[in-house]
Chain A
């Protein structure tokens, strides 16, 4: 058992790391490096869940931490790296990305997220409630990342990072969702990545590239 003071400090530390990683992702041009950052996010998430589990002794939080580690540190990064290798896009990078402007918008997003989370975290009784604002900020930053990217794989990593933020929100507001549902969500995420893997090959076969500017022809004339 960890003491409450130490737990809340450790969780806050993990939250800060997660937020920094979200900003790092926002500024990262190279797809391969994004996978590394995503893996690091998974590690921080698993550690924070484990710390909460040690403090509260909730059995399902241990499983949750293990599931996070297996899915977000091992399985997903492995699949993504394999995809990148098979698609031969190791050197892919976003060329049109205005990092300064994105960072400034990112800062505003964080302020907004804290404002939005304030009333809810006031209601929460968990020791981790202070991090709800950060969780929401990660969700919104990942959303911003998805908007600014033109490469298909980067957008998917943004999508997965968003799910990380949601998971963190669940664990900071309520000590995690019920196990079965967390499991269902994890399964959906895994299937989504598989489906997208298949889909990437289809896109590449059709367009010879994974750049999404190819996918902008459908609109109402």
Chain B
């Protein structure tokens, strides 16, 4: 029941907003649809946590504690971003950057994007997963180019072509997976691609075919995660699109793509009986962290800065999943959650800061704390949180990942720590003058939505100080599912 609501509500929202998305009340309608999705997601979460994994609709949908946590997170951030986008898009409208028709496109595609991500998370079928993730790209291409500036068109084109080519590799990987599965499991048609079926018979799957499949799947979906060296589209798409879209791309889409990679990893590891996929993930993760940390120094645009920070954090999570084992998986899941909450909060604050200053160039944004203390402090606290300063949740998860790395992969720990230090210095050095420097600037016509910023940061703070037992259990269950490799 909840499942049907989660899947159909955003789709209904897409249609409704495609018709009425240009009305003055459309932002509220958008938020209402997102709220409905969030409520259904909460209901589903409660059911799965208390009653265990659920298979629905002939096994085509499968919900366990691993994906239900991402569903809840996606619905939550989807809702808060919809709240943030109300004043944000109205101000953009007043500034003449978007027309009524584009508002309609924006609202309709926002719901479509949510729908595709939720389908990708909930489906049990690796083929449907692919179709949904490709649809997620398509629904956001026109949003990245919403402002129709030269730079935004270029960013959208890059996004489409790079992710399109990437995801074509993933399709080839899926075909190989199907091929391997069809032979062994003897399952017919749709059932041969069901993750649960594959997982049940993974030890019999052909290792050679599967390791090749994994390479293609990782390259394909890894492009969407933004793993270096496949990350080229990410900073552009984040910087040039509307800020609510940057927030959901960074906070949600990257998670969804990584989730799919991990599902694939579980299968392939079971088939190969070795840690090879984990090692590949560790290599990609570490490379992403290091490269992103150094690229942070070269950024002049505030949204690009935080886009690179997303690449860095996705690298950390990928590395942690690569190490495997209950502790590292637990930490990776926690890090996914806190990164998602913190990064979207930062983008909310950045969005209003940019509107206030009329520029995304960091050297020209100054004195936010004087001009609007809430925006200034929101940005500062968000930055401190994302940099892993205690007592925020990012510290807890990074600490866990680092200590596990010291035990399991001692060679990697210094590299990781060094990269984190480099990133720390780069970001704090940029944000500090923006928040505390000499002010200048103008008033905003609509009251900025800063409640979501502080709600997210409070949640991250709570997660850093104290993880409620049921949440910890939930993460632990999910970490078990992903599997412990020695």
Query: A and B: real partners?
Result: yes
Binding site for B on A (CB under 8 A): 60, 116, 119-120, 123-125, 136, 139, 143, 146, 152, 155, 159, 162-163, 166, 169-170, 173-174, 177-181, 184-185, 187-188, 191-192, 195-196, 198-199, 202-203, 205-207, 212, 214-218, 220-221
Contact at A162–B168, with CB atoms within 8 Å? yes
Tell me the bound Cα distance from A202 to B161 in angstroms. 16
**Cβ of B190 under 8 Å from chain A:** yes
Instruction: Given A143-B165, A159-B164, A198-B142, verify A218-B236 contact (CB < 8 Å).
Output: yes
Q: Which chain A positions have C-beta within 8 A of B164?
A: 159, 192
Tell me the complex Cα distance, A184–B131, Å.
6
Given the complex of chains A and B, what is the CA–CA distance between A188 and B133 in angstroms? 10
Q: Would you call B171 an interface residue if the criterion is a C-beta within 8 Å of the partner chain's C-beta atoms? A: yes
Q: Are the CB atoms of B175 and A170 closer together than 8 Å? A: yes
Q: Which B-chain residue is minimally distant from A171 (CB atoms)?
A: B175
Q: Is the CB of A155 within 8 A of B127?
A: no
Count of inter-chain pairs, beta carbons less than 8 A: 137
- How far, in angstroms, from A217 to B239 measured CA to CA in the complex? 14
- Indicate if the CB atoms of A215 and B179 lie closer than 8 Å: no
Contact B134 A188, beta carbon cutoff 8 Å: yes
* B193 interface residue per 8 A CB criterion: yes
Using Cβ atoms and an 8 Å threshold, which residues of chain A touch B108? Answer: none
26 contacts between A and B (CB under 8 A): A120-B179, A120-B208, A120-B212, A146-B161, A155-B161, A170-B175, A173-B176, A174-B175, A174-B178, A177-B174, A178-B190, A180-B190, A181-B128, A184-B128, A185-B131, A185-B134, A185-B171, A187-B131, A188-B138, A192-B138, A198-B142, A215-B154, A218-B154, A220-B235, A220-B295, A221-B298
Chain B residues within 8 Å of A181, by CB: 125, 127-128, 130-131, 190, 193
Q: How far is the CB of B130 from chain A (nearest CB, A)?
A: 8
Inside 8 A of A159's CB, which chain B residues have their CB? Answer: 161, 164-165, 168
B125's closest neighbor in chain A, by CB?
Answer: A181
Bound complex: CA of A184 vs CA of B192, how far in Å? Answer: 17
Give chain A residues whose Cβ lies under 8 Å from the Cβ of B304.
220
The SS class assigned to the A binding surface is: helix
B interface, CB within 8 angstroms of A = 125, 127-128, 130-131, 134-135, 138, 141-142, 145, 148-151, 153-158, 160-161, 164-165, 168, 171-172, 174-176, 178-179, 182-183, 189-190, 192-193, 206, 208-209, 212, 235-236, 240, 295, 298-300, 304
Q: Which residue of A lies closest to B181 (CB)?
A: A174
Q: In the complex, A188 Cα to B279 Cα: how many Å? A: 33
CB <8 Å contact, A218 and B158: yes
Question: In whole angstroms, how far apart are the Cα atoms of A136 and B153 in the complex?
Answer: 31
How far, in whole Å, are A185 and B164 apart by their CA atoms in the complex? 12
Contact of B208 with A123 in the complex, beta carbons under 8 Å: yes
Chain B minimum-CB-distance residue to A122? B208
A220 CA / B294 CA spacing, docked (Å): 12
Minimum CB distance partner of B176 in chain A: A120
Closest CB pairs A-B (n = 9): A181-B127, A184-B131, A215-B154, A178-B189, A178-B190, A188-B134, A173-B179, A170-B175, A174-B179
Q: Which residues of B lie under 8 Å from residue A196 when comparing CB positions?
A: 160
**A173: which B residues are within 8 A, CB to CB?**
175-176, 179
How far apart are the CA atoms of A20 and B175 in the complex, in Å? 24
CA A38 – CA B164 in complex, angstroms? 18
CA A191 – CA B175 in complex, angstroms? 21
Return chain B residues, CB-CB under 8 Å to A125. Answer: 183
CA distance A174 to B189 in the complex (A): 10
Are B154 and A217 in contact, with the CB atoms below 8 A?
yes
Q: Give the Cβ gap from B485 to chain A, nearest Cβ, in Å.
A: 25
**Complex Cα gap A35–B206 (Å):** 39
A180 to B235, CA, bound (A): 34
Smallest Cβ-Cβ distance to B212: which chain A residue: A120
CB of B178 within 8 A of CB of A177, answer yes
